[in-house]
A = this chain, B = another copy of it.
Amino acid sequence: MATGRTHRPATRSRGIPEATVARLPLYLRALTALSERSVPTVSSEELATAAGVNSAKLRKDFSYLGSYGTRGVGYDVEYLVYQISRELGLTQDWPVVIVGIGNLGAALANYGGFASRGFRVAALIDADPAQTGKMVAGLPVRHTDELEDIVEHNQVSIGVIATPAGAAQEVCDRLVAAGVTSILNFAPTVLSVPDGVDVRKVDLSIELQILAFHEQRKAGEDLGEAVAAARDTLPKAVAEPVTEPARRPGPDGDVPAVMPA
């Protein structure tokens, strides 16, 4: 998603596929749990189950990192934890700023799994002067005016945006101008950033909508595929581009209709 990297020849034997990178944190979490229970080694099968993937995928993923397993035995837990941590860059410390300390921003600031594993909340920033100085998660909320100073002073390269949608792009621009090159965006907006800046987004309502799509399918199946099938065969040409559209789904959901399962 929005890798934003300048077109790299993709040469490098070092190119770990994006899909693999996205799973490394999962493996790391499962391994850390094993490590805490002092389990010394683990097979691809066991680890894959713990991480919720299949073992072939896991082995392929690990093969991009190197040959860290032992045939006939499995993987050394501690060693893998170390290797994956290093690969992900978690053996160094990443200062992070959170901008927008509303409900969500505060929740993020309080989130435990944040501070551990290489990430450190360097500052909380909010545009509301009334919030300034308030303590959240043990840190004082600072005013947006200080954003550039904070980023430069703390060598922050990762910024978290938890502002309302309307403010997100401007905050993003300022973060980037100040030196941030990775952004985690919780605001429901598409951010545009220059090349070389990575953006990842987390969007509650998108996730819900995807779930709703599949729910709808399930409901359709339950009452026989007949209905869906009928819709399918509707000669598309017959659609009249101005009949239904007049009624956009009102703010309080119209057509409660069938009700799922």
Contact = CB atoms under 8 A, between A and B. Distances in A.
Interface residues of A, number: 105
Interface in A99-132: 102-104, 106-108, 110-111, 113-114, 116-120
A66 interface: yes
A39 to B, nearest CB: 13
Interface of A: 2-3, 5, 12-14, 21-22, 24-26, 28-30, 35, 50-52, 66-68, 70, 76, 78-79, 81-82, 85, 87-94, 96, 102-104, 106-108, 110-111, 113-114, 116-120, 155, 157-158, 179, 181-184, 188, 190, 192, 196, 198, 200, 202-216, 218, 228, 232, 236-237, 239, 241-242, 244-249, 251, 253-261
Given A79-B245, A155-B259, A155-B261, 18 more contacts: A12-B232, A82-B244, A85-B249, A89-B213, A91-B253, A92-B216, A92-B257, A93-B256, A96-B208, A104-B104, A113-B205, A118-B249, A181-B215, A181-B261, A182-B212, A184-B204, A184-B207, A202-B202
